[in-house]
Amino acid sequence: MKFLVSKSLHANPNFILLLGFYSFLLLFYFVGDLFYLGHFFGTDTQMVLSTLQGNEEEFLEPLSLMSLLEHLHIALFLGIMALFTTMAIVLRLNLTKGHKRLIISLSMGTLLLESLALLATYFLNENFVYIFFYGTITWHLVGVYALLLTLKELYWTKRDF
- The DSSP output letter for 93 is S
| Confidence at residue 9, expressed as pLDDT on a 0 to 100 scale | 65
Specify the higher pLDDT residue, 6 or 151.
151
Give 14-73 pLDDT, tens digit per residue: 888 888 999 999 999 999 999 999 999 989 999 998 888 888 887 888 889 999 999 999
Domain ranges of the chain: 18-155
Tell me how far CA of residue 37 lies from CA of 14, 48, 101, 113, in angstroms: 34, 10, 27, 16
pTM summary value: 0.86
Asked whether the beta carbons of 139 and 79 are under 8 A apart, the reply is yes
